[in-house]
Amino acid sequence: MTSIEDHRTCPQVYSPDAQGLLDEFRSVCHKYYFAFSHATLGYKAQFKRYEQIIDPANYSNLISTGSAFPNSEQSPGQSTIAQMTQGELLEYLQDGGLFEDYVAKSLVIVIYHLWDEYYRPRIAKEVGAIPNQVECALLGAILSI
């Protein structure tokens, strides 16, 4: 396999342009991680908000989200896009809850897609290799998950 992680260990394939692409990929990954970490902060804030207003006696009641509030011109629930019980909402918003899990899994998928479909082929072209010969330590670890 060809690696551009450290040109000192593999100088025959070092390319400043390929290194620039790898640096760009890392920067993009950092931005996605910031988005993830701030989204989880939002979940924590929403959990605190809902925890204050949802009565445990009503955990089985539905809560919905949609494109607009039902009004006199709409049947109740007509604008509903999604709904769940109030108890589920609180459970999923908790630190480490299902919503955080969904976003974390999405982050892994986006990063892998960016690597495999965009950065890996461009780096391969720069170092004269085929894409499957180019490795990135971060993505190699993801494949073992």
pTM of whole model > 0.75?
Answer: no
Question: Which structural domain, as residue segments, surrounds residue 102?
Answer: 2-56+96-143
The answer to whether position 65 is within a domain reads: no
Q: How many domains does the chain have?
A: 1
With a cut of 50, say whether residue 43 has pLDDT above it. yes
pLDDT for the residue numbered 133: 83
pLDDT for the residue numbered 72: 43
pLDDT digit string, tens, across residues 108-131:
999 999 999 999 999 999 888 888
The string of DSSP codes covering 28-53 is HHHHHHHHHHHHHHHHHHHHHHHHHH
The answer to whether position 89 is within a domain reads: no
The answer to whether position 73 is within a domain reads: no
The answer to whether position 48 is within a domain reads: yes
The answer to whether position 61 is within a domain reads: no
The answer to whether position 118 is within a domain reads: yes
Tokens matching residue 92: 């999923």
φ, ψ (nearest 5 deg) of residue 2: -100, 135
